[in-house]
Structure 1
Amino acid sequence: MSDHQAERAQLSADIEAAALRKAEEYIEQEEGAANKLKGGLAIFITLTAVVMSVFHLYTAYAIVPTQTLRPVHVSFVLFLVFLVFPISARWRHRVMWWDWIAALLAIAVVVYAIQGGDDFTDRNTSPLPMDIVFGVALIALVLEGMRRTSGWIMPVICICFLLYALGGPLLPAPWTHKGYEVGRLVGVMYMTLEGIFGSAVDVSSSLIILFTIFGAFLQYSGAGKFYLDFSFSAMGGKPTGAGRTVVLASFLLGGPSGSGVATTVTLGSVAYPMLQKVGYEKNAAGGLLAAGGLGAIISPPVLGAAAFLIAEFLKISYLDVLLMACIPTVLFYFALFLMVEIDARKYGMHETVFEKVDTVWHLTRRYWFHFLSLVSIVFFMLWGFSPVLSVFWATVVSGLTSMLRRDTALIPYDIFRGPGVLRRLWNSPFIKAMEGGSIGVLNVATTCAGAGIIVGVVTLTGLGLKFSQIVIDYAGGSLLLTAIFTSLVVWIIGLAVPVTASYIICAVIAAPALIKLGVPDFAAHMFIFYYAVLSEVSPPTALSPFAAAAITGGDPYKTTLQCWKYTVPAFLVPFMFVLDPSGQGLLLMGSTKALANANWWSIAEVTLTCGLGIAALAAGFQGWALRRTTKVERVLLLVAGVLLAYPGWMADLAGIAGVIAAMAMQLLRREAPAAGENRPTVT
């Protein structure tokens, strides 16, 4: 290699490293900027995180009282948050004396509550002075923990809710209420299972952390690399291969992780050169990568953390939530597949040969057990295990099957060979996975604790019913307008807070409006969940597109617009399952019991109708169907897509007629399709 070639290769490597560092900054915005500690302190953090993972794996199998599990979980989380996340960037990569005070106070607050026993819980309506002191301390610790992991917005929102509870008589109608003193508020937030230790923390302590441990086991056993290699080998070579690879890999990577930003960065660092090679412009490539990452939050078997909360709010099995997500997830990826197929034809993308790690057959023959880990959760649920036990045994399966090959083993084959067994165990992927499981849950767990403050205030003051009545009044009792207003509320709240937080907030203040107008509770909550997910790609917190833009070198806002182009067709789907009973077929009627008595023809009909609507919207947004569309054809396709997304036979017939008319106009035009005239740009 010449000196000039070596310099170019080095420059390319430096640019790629800088892009990945920038992308990691966006991950830190979502998950917090963690300290990178060394020496004995790093060992202590790792040991604490491993103990936390061991404790939660034990509680999955053993019986631990709820009054103990939830506070201990919060104590572990806050203790690690104050040691792992600095108070500000100035103090990063070191633990200060005030961090130790806050961490130890988190333990003291929980020890005080657990030692109080039933007497402590019984006096929640008239707490002692010491109860109030510890309760205020816990609220302050949770707010500061959220600030360190997620920024200022969520703590400020929680403070506003607390002020609403305290200042009820001072507010104008219809927001006014009798108001509550600090003692009464502390009693709910700290001394019962309705506030900070409420349902959100219940889900975090029993399900979310187990799924993060499971995801860490998959990561450190090499499952993520296998899913990428499998996708590259299966899809590479054709003009649409690059886009198809992103779509398939995002599903396989996102299914176990449930994190949109992490999936985008992991996939983008590998797949962007391939997208660039076939002709994707920077912003379009970033938009596709971010759209694929977004699918991670709505893809079984893990979905996002909010999915566990849906099961808790509705008091249904997590298997039912997975069931409801199946068809919408298929439709989401169907939309992405259509978009990449249209891209290849619209922009005349050329065939190219990608470097394949191996053939699909050889990869599957050697690493087939990674697929087993992926489906084992659903298998155990179908076998009759609870969600908690299902993910516990799936983690065990993942750990055991990793030992089938030396290069994937979580515990090295030579661990007992010669002296230094403990040192080799400490440096093994198993310990890293146990540590990663606990560290990975800190951001979500603090958000869940903070969300408990909001839920507690809403329950105490009756804010949910008031807000729902206000929305219904503004909508004039119209279900369509109520759904539109609700989606806007969810979207606006989601602009400022993470998906999990926006779902929790809107589940308690916005879902009652839809339910009051006759929408089944499961459909209302899934509607809110999907629009909370949309906030992941909406500025100013569009972290997935911003991370993708950092990798591709594109403009963050143009990349966000491209991501919207790829995802918007699928986001009209939620309206189908709230506006008409037939649309609930997209959710497979909400449960396994209801599905047993469901009309399968109706489910197939609404799914096909929705799929046709998505196809029409995809063609309309891209301006390309069989060939480049005229303005009239494009308008016809867009209107037809919206009509097909609105349940009802009249809307369906009009939508189908619109699609037929647009296709007929395309077929009757004789000019050849002008493929490849330009590369993807923002439209």
Structure 2
Amino acid sequence: MSEHDAQLQSAQTLIAESDTGARAPSGALSRKILLVVPLAWSLFQLWIASPLPYKLGLFVVNATQARSIHLAFAVFLAFTAYPTFKHSPRHLIPLQDWATALLGAFCAGYLYLFWDGLAARSGAPSQTDLIFSCIGIVLLMEAARRSLGFPLMAVAALFLAYVFFGSSTWLPDVIRWRGASVERAMSHLWLTSEGVFGVALGVSSGFVFLFVLFGALLNQAGAGNYFLSLAFAGLGHLRGGPAKAAVIASAATGLISGSSIANVVTTGTFTIPLMKKVGFSPAKAGAIEVSSSINGVLTPPVMGAVAFLMTEYVGISYVEVVKAAILPAAISYIALFYIVHLEAVKLGMTGIRRKNPIRSLLSTIFMICACILVTGGALWLCGEIVDGLATLLGSTVAPFAATALFLGVYVLALRYSAKVPDLPSSVDSIQSLPPMREIFRSGLHYLLPILLLMYLLMVERKSPGFSAFWSASFMLLVLLTQRPLKSFFRGQDDVMHGLRVGAGEVISGLIEGARNMIGLACAMAVAGIIVGTVTLTGIGQVMAEFVEFLSGGNLLLMLVFVALISIILGMGLPTTANYIVVSSLMASVVVELSAQGGLIVPLVAVHMFVFYFGIMADVTPPVGLASFAAAAISGGDPLRTGFQAFFYSIRTALLPFLFIFNTDLLLLNVSWPHAIMIFVIATIAMLVFAAGTMNYFLTRSRWWESAALVLVALTLFRPGFWLDQVQPQWQHLPPAQAMKLAQDAADGATLRVGMAGTTLEGKQVSSTFLLPLGKSGASGASRLEQNAGLVLAQQDGKVIVSTVTFGGPAEKLGIDFDWQVTGVDVENPRMPKEVFYIPAFALLGLVAMLQNRRRRSVAASVA
């Protein structure tokens, strides 16, 4: 076996251990069960997502029952597909694993099996309920350990210990709480929808499974190889081409895979050896692939299924989440592409096709923008066609006509693709690839499922579950028909053989999709233990106090500590569980402490902040799983690969800090012309930042030139920082003016109010709040009461909160009775912050001029 084959086998073993299960039993019965059970799981998920149960009145289950069955499948497969330890036999399933698999599945399915009885004794569980709940918790954590490793189980065990022993005297007073009985804890964590069977598992069973299945079917059809071939055909011959192609291929693969490890192995098995071949060291080759793959998880429309969790946790639409995530992801990818180019230049690499580096970079940016515009145009055209059909045929017939038209486009795309040979199942070398135009034609039909998914989500605004179901259903049709239809169009006589192969691929895709979900479903269920602990014990408030104590009230230090804690919490966790854990614990910390510092941060920005740093745990040693996967392929040192990947990912780590202070980067409440300007300026800023951190711009930089480039980048990212030093943003007015300001404010405005008081728990609070005012025309008191759920009153020369409406915006913000208004903030009239772009670009021009002169001088001396 060659060195590359050994590395490839090692990488495939790693992905099997982390994603699908490493056990491959030799017994016929065991093999069949590991095929039939995942297939049944996929069919169950498709059934409950379809309209058939309600049309036929068969096997209709509610959301909580579906979660119970979903987890039962996952726990059963975790014990049968994953060995107990790494050295445990993989060719058989021991008897004890069968027993624990069945017992674990029974405990997970307990809510479904005894639904009526549990409902009748709600709040008063029987002894049997408690026994199976305790067993279920233990076996769930063991299932997570097998499928995901020790970190998540250890975190969950720590939180469980806090539930039961949080009142111990050996704990510091700051984190001590009164503790919980077994009855209360199990009722909260297992027998209700507050813990294990909560929102996270609901998202997993409701639509994350369908998105993972969609990705598995798309990959089974050959789309992954298609995207990889496209990237290499377009970029493989440039300077450092394999590394540049890895960046683009990972972006495309991110649409298919929600796992950074799977992303590394899918594209890295080809890209990493080629990067080494053209001159990158093993550590750098692996690090480039890791950085690219991490970005794939941060990129819409799926974001490793986090986009859909974020809609639930933040309370905004899916389109708003995509809009907030798209710009940081695009900028980060462009910057990584530029970093790769700079590395190639520093290593003296030359491409087969020589191009001006600036022109090459601009053409890449143009290509990305063109793809976005073409995709947007296609979605707009689809919407116009559907609206036209609805006008012409009526709303009842139009969906059927649109479906027929879409299937017709699919058949035409296949006919067009059939005119060129199919791509080989794997890419052997850049030289063996056909021309890019031919590659593009060969898989044109692969773009249609992705277009359908994006159309349903973003144009029709359908639910994620609905969109994923119909997209996955279309992928089943593609798998079943692409081979026979191509054979028919080519005039071949193996149509029936193609149909049989397609049916086999459908079954394989359904099985693969379910096996990809084992660890993910267990992770989201275990994350429910952590979320349930947070809601039961109030540990989130303790975390806020802890971070506040460490930072000493400094806002920037607070964000740094939150970032570090998010990385620690995210170590060893899959993407979705990672997000659930860090957002549950740290999002409220950022909101509360930012408000105390006078900075009102939108909730989506906070969730993006903790998500970005949680994902950085996949890169960062000592538990950077993606880095370990890349090192297994490259043959490099895992720690060195991890540190190099972290260095490349500094640009990704910078972005969360920037969109906390400059929410324009998330396109929140900005017009399209402003959005385009933000994209251009932010892209330039990130490229300059990359040049500064790489110590190379037009030529190798001196230390002060690198410092100047970083300063230029930060100024372009946040020009408001310098403006705040010259002209304060807020004018602080006395509390007595609150009513008048509320009355005079425009429609839809908010009132920025400082308040101080004591919570019911006895904690002193001093913070800033944004109170919605609704429509103008009423008195200030009326606008505050009707829209903010708040009544203010004068008392002893002070303005205090006399009434807080139950369930109103003020109560949700945490405002309480008898709090005192400390002041009202009104924005000062100031010059535009964009004025500071002028000195920034002037400094950039100076550095460019000096480096260009030095580069020419060196070239002349060499000549």
TM-score by length of 2: 0.71
Is 2:519 aligned against 1:456? no
1:61-85 deviation digits (Å, cap 9, x = unpaired): 2363112111010111111111111
Is 2:611 aligned against 1:622? no
Q: Is the 8 A contact 1:207 1:387 kept in 2?
A: yes
Which residue pairs with 2:852 in the alignment?
Answer: 667
Distance 1:23 1:182, change over 3 A: same
Is 2:5 aligned against 1:17? yes
Which residue pairs with 2:657 in the alignment?
Answer: 575
Which residue pairs with 2:591 in the alignment?
Answer: 515
| Distance apart, 1:558 and its partner CA | 2.2
**Matches of 1:647 and 1:491 in 2, distance apart?**
28
1:146-295 → structure 2 map (5 Å cutoff): 146-170=144-168, 171-295=171-295
What code does the residue aligned with 1:437 have? Answer: G
Aligned residue among 384, 392, 395 for 2:461: 384
Is 2:483 aligned against 1:406? yes
Is 2:134 aligned against 1:52? no
Which residue pairs with 1:300 in the alignment?
Answer: 300
**Matches of 2:233 and 2:329 in 1, distance apart?**
23
Aligned residue among 620, 625, 631 for 1:538: 620
Which residue pairs with 1:95 in the alignment?
Answer: 93
Which residue pairs with 2:32 in the alignment?
Answer: 43
Q: Is the 8 A contact 2:196 2:527 kept in 1?
A: yes
**Matches of 2:21 and 2:493 in 1, distance apart?**
35
Larger helix proportion of the pair = 1
Is 2:665 aligned against 1:586? yes
- Greater relative CO (CA pairs within 8 A, separation 6+): 1
| Distance apart, 1:344 and its partner CA | 3.1
Q: Is the 8 A contact 1:20 1:550 kept in 2?
A: yes
Q: Is the 8 A contact 2:7 2:632 kept in 1?
A: yes
| Distance apart, 1:468 and its partner CA | 1.7
Q: Is the 8 A contact 1:215 1:257 kept in 2?
A: yes
Which residue pairs with 2:107 in the alignment?
Answer: 109
**Matches of 1:115 and 1:238 in 2, distance apart?**
60
What code does the residue aligned with 1:663 have? Answer: A
Which residue pairs with 2:438 in the alignment?
Answer: 362
Larger strand proportion of the pair = 2
1:241-275 deviation digits (Å, cap 9, x = unpaired): 32321111111112211221222122222123432
Which residue pairs with 2:472 in the alignment?
Answer: 395
What code does the residue aligned with 2:32 have? Answer: I
1:366-397 deviation digits (Å, cap 9, x = unpaired): 31011222232111112232111111111122
Distance 1:599 1:320, change over 3 A: closer
**Matches of 2:562 and 2:484 in 1, distance apart?**
50
Which residue pairs with 1:69 in the alignment?
Answer: 66
How many corresponding residue pairs?
650
| Distance apart, 1:214 and its partner CA | 0.5
Which residue pairs with 1:527 in the alignment?
Answer: 609
What code does the residue aligned with 1:96 have? Answer: P
Distance 1:502 1:417, change over 3 A: closer
Task: Say which is worse superposed, 395-404 or 618-627, in terms of deviation.
Answer: 395-404
Q: Is the 8 A contact 1:301 1:375 kept in 2?
A: no
Which residue pairs with 1:479 in the alignment?
Answer: 555
**Matches of 2:463 and 2:496 in 1, distance apart?**
36
**Matches of 2:493 and 2:542 in 1, distance apart?**
62
**Matches of 1:628 and 1:99 in 2, distance apart?**
59
SS in 1 for 2:301: coil
Distance 1:110 1:155, change over 3 A: closer
| Distance apart, 1:15 and its partner CA | 1.0
| Distance apart, 1:110 and its partner CA | 4.2
**Matches of 1:231 and 1:572 in 2, distance apart?**
27
Aligned residue among 527, 552, 569 for 1:493: 569
Task: Say which is worse superposed, 19-28 or 178-187, in terms of deviation.
Answer: 19-28
Structure 2 unaligned regions, length at least 5: 55-60, 354-429, 724-835
Distance 1:117 1:495, change over 3 A: closer
Distance 1:636 1:425, change over 3 A: closer
Work out which of the two has the higher radius of gyration on C-alpha atoms and give 1 or 2. Answer: 2
Which residue pairs with 2:706 in the alignment?
Answer: 634
| Distance apart, 1:34 and its partner CA | 2.0
Q: Is the 8 A contact 1:201 1:452 kept in 2?
A: yes
| Distance apart, 1:32 and its partner CA | 6.7
| Distance apart, 1:445 and its partner CA | 0.8
What code does the residue aligned with 1:584 have? Answer: T
Which residue pairs with 2:732 in the alignment?
Answer: none
Q: Is the 8 A contact 2:484 2:497 kept in 1?
A: no
Is 2:442 aligned against 1:445? no
Q: Is the 8 A contact 2:68 2:110 kept in 1?
A: no
**Matches of 1:401 and 1:427 in 2, distance apart?**
10
| Distance apart, 1:402 and its partner CA | 4.0
**Matches of 1:372 and 1:538 in 2, distance apart?**
36
| Distance apart, 1:323 and its partner CA | 2.4
Q: Is the 8 A contact 1:572 1:645 kept in 2?
A: no
1:596-615 → structure 2 map (5 Å cutoff): 598-615=670-687
Which residue pairs with 2:131 in the alignment?
Answer: 133
**Matches of 2:510 and 2:476 in 1, distance apart?**
11
Structure 1 unaligned regions, length at least 5: 1-12, 590-594, 678-683
Q: Is the 8 A contact 1:69 1:205 kept in 2?
A: yes
Distance 1:289 1:413, change over 3 A: farther
Aligned residue among 77, 81, 87 for 2:78: 81
TM-score by length of 1: 0.89
| Distance apart, 1:555 and its partner CA | 2.3
**Matches of 1:497 and 1:222 in 2, distance apart?**
28
**Matches of 1:219 and 1:496 in 2, distance apart?**
25
| Distance apart, 1:657 and its partner CA | 5.1
| Distance apart, 1:202 and its partner CA | 0.7
**Matches of 1:674 and 1:148 in 2, distance apart?**
59
SS in 2 for 1:321: helix
Distance 1:217 1:307, change over 3 A: same
Q: Is the 8 A contact 1:373 1:394 kept in 2?
A: yes
SS in 2 for 1:105: helix
Which residue pairs with 1:3 in the alignment?
Answer: none
What code does the residue aligned with 2:31 have? Answer: A
1:296-337 deviation digits (Å, cap 9, x = unpaired): 211223221433322221233333322222111101111111
1:160-187 deviation digits (Å, cap 9, x = unpaired): 1111111222233221222110111000
SS in 1 for 2:173: coil
**Matches of 2:226 and 2:525 in 1, distance apart?**
35
SS in 2 for 1:193: coil
1:302-317 → structure 2 map (5 Å cutoff): 302-317=302-317
Q: Is the 8 A contact 2:25 2:91 kept in 1?
A: yes
**Matches of 2:713 and 2:497 in 1, distance apart?**
64
What code does the residue aligned with 1:182 have? Answer: V
| Distance apart, 1:147 and its partner CA | 0.9
SS in 2 for 1:191: coil
What code does the residue aligned with 1:125 have? Answer: G
SS in 2 for 1:91: coil
